[in-house]
Amino acid sequence: MQVTLKVMRYDPNKAAKPGWVSYQVEAEPMDRVLDLLHKVKYFQDGTLAFRRSCGHGICGSDAMLINGKNQLACKALVKDLTKKAGDTITVEPLRGLPVKKDLVVDMDPFFDAYRAVKPYLINDEPPPDRERLQSPEDRARFDASTKCILCAACTTSCPVFWVNGSYIGPAAIVQAHRFIFDSRDRGARERFQALAASTGVWRCRTAYNCTEACPREIPVTQAIEEVKRAILYDKF
């Protein structure tokens, strides 16, 4: 069937402002939006720019705003976005990050926030000869936050982040959660500096957009709440 793919396009070298461009594309119900973007790029307009790599939802390259919701283009299927032939699917770049070209946004502010929470195991005790021991229960405590693929779908769905880009955002807090609740980690307090700052967790207004946007089904808002409580009742 034919669908209309309406893409928000922008090349700062060519135009002052972004604008919509519509493409008629032949689509199968099981096609990914990524397939449609490829069809446009390969057979209609080679200048269309977007990121992608793995094509099945684990590399985090192709998060974008699809029909008004943050999704991975490789996990969003035509059958779930259209009701009938001729329907329109809209595609826009993630909000809140500077657009570099078409669907490509500047990821540097996102990764700066990631780095601010010290996203690595902190433990200066000399490790044992074998593995550090961890019970399956302790391992399960932070399992969900290990799924994060740093796609930025959560952070760029957050209304607080849209208004104030200095907010470190849900993704960085999920990364902090992954370590704060790891029984092997000793760095919670170091991370609290960034997390409790005016740009940290207290900015969160529990809008739940992040949880809805996460393509990995991480309970992001819950993770943020757990980090807030960890700071309040500092047991570390």
Tokens 């990914």 belong to 32
Q: How far is the CB of 69 from other proteins (least distance, A)?
A: 16
Binding-site member from 60, 93, 96, 200 for other proteins (CB under 8 A): 60
Beta bridge partners of 77: 32
Check binding of 92 to other proteins (CB under 8 A).
no
Q: Is 139 in the site for other proteins (CB under 8 A)?
A: yes
Establish if 8 lies at the interface with other proteins (CB under 8 A): no
Please give the sequence-ordered ranges of beta strands (E in DSSP) within 73-224, or none if there are none: 88-92, 99-101, 104-105
Residue span 71-90 as binding mask against other proteins, x where in contact by CB under 8 A, dash where not: ----x-x-------------
Of 132 and 205, nearer to other proteins (C-beta) is 132
Options 4, 8, 18, 52; binder of other proteins; rule CB under 8 A: 52
49 binds other proteins (CB under 8 A): yes
140: number of Cβ within 10 Å: 10
b vs e for 13-43, b when ≥16 Cβ sit within 10 Å of the residue's Cβ? eeeeeeeeeebebebeeebbbbbbbbbbbee
Rounded to 10°, the helix 169-180/108-116 angle is 30
Q: 119: which residues sit within 8 A by CB, 6+ positions away?
A: 172, 175, 176, 178, 179
Rounded to a whole number of angstroms, the minimum distance from the CB of residue 119 to other proteins is 5
CB of 206 to other proteins, least distance (A): 26
Orientation of helix 169-180 relative to helix 188-195, angle to 10°: 160
Site for other proteins in 141-180 (CB under 8 A): 142-143, 146-147, 149-150, 179
Size of the site for other proteins (CB under 8 A): 59
109 Cβ neighbours under 8 A, 6+ residues apart: 97, 98, 165
Within 202-221, the residues that bind other proteins by CB under 8 A are none
Question: Residue type at 223?
Answer: A
Question: For binding to other proteins (CB under 8 A), which residues are involved?
Answer: 11-14, 30, 38, 41-43, 45-47, 49-50, 52-61, 75, 77, 100-102, 104, 107, 111, 114-115, 118-121, 127, 129-136, 138-139, 142-143, 146-147, 149-150, 179, 182, 184-185
